[in-house]
Structure 1
Amino acid sequence: MKLHKYVTVATITFLSVVLCGCKKSFLEIVPKGNIVAVTYDDYDKLMNGSNFYVLGTGGAGIYQPAALMGAEVSAEQYAYNFLGTGYPGARALFQWEANIFPETDPPTDADASKPQFMSVLLKNIYILNKIINDVSGSAGGTEQQKLRLRSEAMAQRAFTNFQLVNYFTKPYNPASASTDPGFPVIKTSDITVKTFDRGTVQQSYDFMISDLTQAIANLPVDPVMKTRVSRGAAEAILGKIYLFMGRYNDAITMLNRAFADMASMKTPPKLYDYNIELAPGGSFLPIDPLYGPNSPFTNASDVKESMWAVFTYAGTYNGFQFPTNFLTIPSKTIALFSPNDWRLKFYTDIQPDMTTPIPGGRLQRNNLKYIRIGVELPDLILLKAEAEARNGNISAALADLNILRSNRIVPAEATVPASAQVDNASLVRFIIEERIREFAAEGHHWFDMRRLSTDPIFSGQPAAQHFLYTDDTNATTYTLTPNRLTLRLPPSYVNQNPGMVNNP
C-alpha cells in the first residue's frame, strides 16, 4: 500500500517540547519537505500515514517492552549480553528494574526500550489533535466527510492513549482510580505548551471513553482501508477498555456490537485454519529453518484476520540483532499447549546457528516479525469469551473459545476441557491461558498481567518471576514487585514539567 509522507508543521517540535524541553531553535524549524495540512484531502492523507499502522521504526516496536516484561517468557544467557544500544534497556525491562530510561537530556537512544516507543505515540497524538481540532475548517470535502475523519482521529487517539496508560499509569482500580496519577490528557496541537498535568487514572479512562463514544456513531461499517478505523473496530476498542476497567456488562455490550458490525462488512476478517495452513500443501508452508512458517506474523500485508490492521515490529530471531533476541518460553509456558497445538509450529528449539539446541528444551518464537496490536479477530474472540464468562454466560463463552481453538488445534484436542467448565472463575483462568497460547512472546500478556493484578479471581498468586537461564536448569531469578507493573516516566519528561510526580 502507498505510504503517505504528509505531516503537519511542528510534528518534530512537539516531541522536543514533550521530551527535551521547549527551545526556540526547535520552534523555528519547519522540517524540509513537510507539508502544511490545509485541505480536507491533506488531512485525509495524514490518516493514511504509516505512522498510524506501523507503530515503531528502525526495527523497534512499541510492544517490545511489553514482550520483554511478560511473565510467560524466559531469557537465555548465551544471547543476553549481546552488544548494541538496545540491549541494556532490554535487559532492564526483562529484570523489571525501576529505571530503564537514560538520564541524558535529550535522550538519543533509538531502540524500543528507550523513549522512542513513547515518542512515537506522542507524535501521533499531536497529529491526531491537529486533525480533530482543524479538519472542520479545512477547504474542500463535505461536512459528513470531515465529521467521519474527525471521528477516525478521535478513535485513533483513544487507542493511542490506551497504549500509554497501560505503560505509564497504575492498572485501573475503581477504588483508587480517582487519585492514582494518570497520563496527561493532551487535547491540543499547541507546541508552545510547556507543562502537562498528569491528572488521574480515572480522567485518562474517561477521556478515552469520551473519544470513542463520540466517534462511533460517525464511523463507517466498512473502513476506508484495513489500516483505518471502522465502527466495529472502535466498538471493539471500547469493549476492551471496559474489560480492563472491570465493567464487564458494558464490555460485552460493545463487543457484541463490534461482532454485529463485523458481520455487515463487505470483507470481514476471517480466522486462518491452522489445520489447513500448516498441513501438507498449506499456505504457511514450507517452514523455513530460521524464519519459521510463513504467516501474518512475517507478512505485513496479510490482514486476513484484521478488523483494523495496526502492527509493530517484534524483534525475535529473524536474522537481525533486535533487543528481544534472548527471549524464550520456559517449560511452564510450553506446558500450557496440548501436544498437537499447531501454534507450537511457530517456535524452534534450535539456536540461530541452526545447529545448537536451546538448553533445557525451551523454545523461541521464530516467525514473529510483526506483532498485531489493532483489532484482530483472535483477540476479539477471546475478549468476548472472557466478558461472557465473567457475566455468567458459560455456554456463550465456550462457543467463542471453540471457534478459535478449532482453527488452532487438531480436532481431537480442541474441545475445552471439563475442568475449565466447572465455574466462571475456572473458565476465566482458562481463557487467560488461551490468550498466552495465542499471543505468547508478543507483549499482550504484560497488559493482561497488569489488569489481573487487581482481579479477585487471580488474587493470592505468587509474584511473577523471570528466569535468566545459564544452562539447562540453572538460572538467575528476578521477581516482579507491584510498583514495576507501571513504568517510570523518562527523566527528561519529568524534568521539563515542574511539579510532575513520577511513578514510584
Structure 2
Amino acid sequence: MKTRFYFIVILCSMFLGCKKYLDAKPDKKLAIPATIADLWALLDNYTKMNMSSPRAGEEYADTYYLTATGFKAISNINTRNNYIWNDKGELFSDWVNAYSAIFYANVVLDEIDAVAKNEPDDMHQFDAVRGSALFFRTFMFYELAQIFAPQYAENTLSAPCIPLRLNPDPAIPSVRATVSECYSQMINDLRTAARLLPENSETKNRPSKAAAFGLLGRIYLNMGDYKNAALYADSCLRIYSKLMDYNSLSPTAAVPIPKFNEEVIFASRSFSESSLLYTSRCRIDTVLYRSYAENDLRKDIFFKANTDGSFTVKASYDGSYGGAYFNDLATDEQYLILAECYARLNNIPAAVQYLNLMLEKRFLKGKYQAIQASTSQQALDIVLSERRKELVFRGVRWSDIRRLNKEDRYRIYPVRKLDNELFELKQDDNRYISLIPLKIIEITGLPQNER
C-alpha cells in the first residue's frame, strides 16, 4: 500500500518550514481513501478546495485605493508592499494554499482507479469524482498563472509558467512548464472534465459540466481565442443561464446579494481576507463609481457612502463582509464573455443582445434603455466598460488589466498615490508577473521571474 499520506506531512514541512509539521502525525481524516465517499470527502473540503485562491490579483488591481492614513494603519509589511507593487511583498500563502488544493486533487486522481476496483457499480460517481478533481486542479493552475506567470501571448509561449504538479508524490521535483504547456494542460484537462461531470452539481461547491464550460470560456478569453471563448460560454449558458433581477434585491440591506445566489455556477473565494480590502479601509476608484448610469441599481447594491464623501464596497458577491473576494464562476460573467467575443468577431447584433439580456436585470424596472452600437469597436468599448462595472471584486480585474494591456486602445496603467508619492505600473513592467516566494525558490530550486 502506498504511504501517500505520510507525504502530506512531508509536504507541509517543505512548504511551511515549521517543526510542528515534522513532528505531527497524519490526521485520521487523511487516511488512504478506500471508498468513493472518501474521495468525495477530500474534494468536499470547502475550506481547502473552494477557499484557496490567491488574493494578490485583487490587491494589485485598480478597483480601489487607500488613503495615506489607511495605508499607514496596515501593520503587515507584505500587505503594504503588495498595494504599491513592491517586490518585497511575499506571496507565500498565495502559492502554498493553491498548491495545497492541487495536492488534494492529485491524491484523488492517483487513488481513484484503485478505489474504483472495489466499487465497480458506481462508475458514474467515479466519473464525477475524476472530473471534479481535474476541474479543481485546473482552476488553481489558472489562478496561479495569473499571478506568477506571463500573460498568454504569441511572444510568451516558451516563457516559464508555473510548475504543473500532476502527481501527489513530493519526491518528484518541481519544474516550471512553459506558458504553452500550462495552457494546453488546462484546456485538455477541462475538456476531459466536461465529458465526465454532470450538467449541474448538487451543491455550488462541486464542479459541473456548466462550470467546466464556464472556466474554458474564461481561459480562452484570456488567451485571446474569441471563437472558442464564445463557444464554451454559450455551452455553459445552454445548461444554466439564470440571472438575478436586481429589482428583487434590497439596496439598503447590509448584504444585498445572498451567498450562493442563483447566478453562481461554481463557488470559490480567496484563501483569506486582505486588510487592503476591508470595507472600512478600501475606497472605490472614483472613475469607476461615477461610470454607473442613473437608475443603474448596481451602484447602490455594490457600494455605500463613507463619511468623507468617498465610497466603499458593501459586501462580497458571496454575501460576506471583510477583505475576502469571490472569484466564482457565474452566469453574468458568461454573458459578458459572449458579448465581448461577438463584438471582437464583428457580430454586433449578438454582442448587443447578450449585453442587453444582462443589463436589463441591473436597472430599475421600466428605466432601462437598450444598448445600441453601430460598429464592432463601439460595441466592444461598451462591453468592456460594463464588464468592469459588473465584475467588481470578482477576481478577474487583474487578469483583464494584463490581457488588455496588449492592445493599444485599452491599455491600463494602474497608479497609486500616497501623500505626494506616485507608484505606477507602466507597459511591460516586470511587476505584472509576481516573484515566486523566496522560500519556495530555496526549497525547490525553481528559476525566479526576471527583474
Deviates more, 1:409-418 or 1:476-485: 409-418
Equivalent in the alignment of 2:160: 181
Maintained 8 Å contact 1:169/1:201: yes
Distance 1:493 1:218 in 2: 34
- Give the alignment partner of residue 11 of structure 1, picking from 8, 11, 16: 8
- Give the alignment partner of residue 188 of structure 2, picking from 210, 213, 226: 210
Deviation at 1:294, TM superposition (A): 3.0
Distance 1:121 1:222 in 2: 25
Q: Which amino acid aligns with 2:140?
A: T
Equivalent in the alignment of 1:295: 257
Relative distance call for 1:218 and 1:271 in structure 2 (3 A) is same
- For residues 416-472 of structure 1, the C-alpha deviation after alignment (integer angstroms, 9 at most, x for no partner) is 555xx24223322322221221123444211110111223542xx46331234x5xx
Comparing both structures, which one devotes a greater share of its residues to helix? 2
Maintained 8 Å contact 1:494/1:502: no
What does 1:346-365 correspond to in 2, within 5 Å? 346-350=302-306, 357-358=307-308, 361-365=309-313
Maintained 8 Å contact 1:52/1:310: no
Maintained 8 Å contact 2:343/2:376: yes
Distance 2:412 2:131 in 1: 43
Deviation at 1:306, TM superposition (A): 0.8
Instruction: Say whether residues 1:308 and 2:266 are aligned partners.
Output: yes
Deviation at 1:403, TM superposition (A): 1.5
Equivalent in the alignment of 2:344: 390
Equivalent in the alignment of 1:148: 128
What does 1:19-30 correspond to in 2, within 5 Å? 20=17, 29-30=24-25
- SS across alignment from 1:170: coil
Instruction: Say whether residues 1:119 and 2:115 are aligned partners.
Output: no
- SS across alignment from 2:156: coil
Equivalent in the alignment of 1:111: none
Q: Which amino acid aligns with 2:277?
A: T
Deviation at 1:129, TM superposition (A): 0.6
Maintained 8 Å contact 1:64/1:324: no
Distance 1:336 1:13 in 2: 51
Relative distance call for 1:443 and 1:155 in structure 2 (3 A) is closer
- Give the alignment partner of residue 380 of structure 1, picking from 331, 334, 337: 334
- For residues 69-90 of structure 1, the C-alpha deviation after alignment (integer angstroms, 9 at most, x for no partner) is 11232211232222543xx222
- Give the alignment partner of residue 76 of structure 1, picking from 67, 72, 90: 67
- SS across alignment from 1:496: helix
Deviation at 1:207, TM superposition (A): 0.9
Equivalent in the alignment of 1:486: 433
Distance 1:313 1:120 in 2: 7
Structure 1: state its 5+ residue gaps: 1-6, 57-61, 102-113, 263-268, 278-283, 317-321, 351-356
Deviation at 1:313, TM superposition (A): 6.6
- Give the alignment partner of residue 227 of structure 1, picking from 192, 205, 214: 205
Deviates more, 1:409-418 or 1:425-434: 409-418
Maintained 8 Å contact 2:245/2:361: yes
Equivalent in the alignment of 2:421: 476
Maintained 8 Å contact 1:80/1:91: yes
- Give the alignment partner of residue 39 of structure 2, picking from 43, 62, 80: 43
Structure 2: state its 5+ residue gaps: none
- SS across alignment from 1:447: helix
- Give the alignment partner of residue 375 of structure 2, picking from 384, 405, 423: 423
- Give the alignment partner of residue 138 of structure 2, picking from 137, 146, 158: 158
Equivalent in the alignment of 1:3: none
| Aligned CA-pair RMSD | 2.6
Maintained 8 Å contact 1:216/1:234: yes
Distance 1:411 1:91 in 2: 42
Equivalent in the alignment of 2:247: 275
What does 1:404-423 correspond to in 2, within 5 Å? 404-411=358-365, 414-415=368-369, 417-418=371-372, 421-423=373-375
Q: Which amino acid aligns with 2:286?
A: S
Deviation at 1:136, TM superposition (A): 1.3
- SS across alignment from 1:145: helix
- SS across alignment from 2:325: strand
Maintained 8 Å contact 1:10/1:30: no
TM-score, normalised with respect to structure 1: 0.79
- Give the alignment partner of residue 82 of structure 2, picking from 71, 81, 93: 93
Distance 2:394 2:266 in 1: 18
Maintained 8 Å contact 1:20/1:493: no
Maintained 8 Å contact 2:352/2:371: no
- SS across alignment from 1:414: coil
Deviation at 1:198, TM superposition (A): 0.7
Deviation at 1:38, TM superposition (A): 2.0
Deviation at 1:395, TM superposition (A): 1.0
Relative distance call for 1:158 and 1:167 in structure 2 (3 A) is same
Equivalent in the alignment of 1:265: none
Relative distance call for 1:220 and 1:422 in structure 2 (3 A) is same
Q: Percent identity?
A: 21
Deviation at 1:401, TM superposition (A): 0.9
Relative distance call for 1:127 and 1:91 in structure 2 (3 A) is same
Distance 2:96 2:239 in 1: 33
Deviates more, 1:336-345 or 1:142-151: 142-151
Equivalent in the alignment of 1:250: 228
Relative distance call for 1:314 and 1:430 in structure 2 (3 A) is farther
What does 1:258-273 correspond to in 2, within 5 Å? 258-262=236-240, 270-273=242-245
* More relative contact order, 1 or 2 (CA 8 Å, 6+ apart): 1
Q: Which amino acid aligns with 2:83?
A: F
Relative distance call for 1:63 and 1:32 in structure 2 (3 A) is closer
Deviation at 1:65, TM superposition (A): 2.1
- For residues 149-194 of structure 1, the C-alpha deviation after alignment (integer angstroms, 9 at most, x for no partner) is 11111111111100000110011112321x211101111100223x
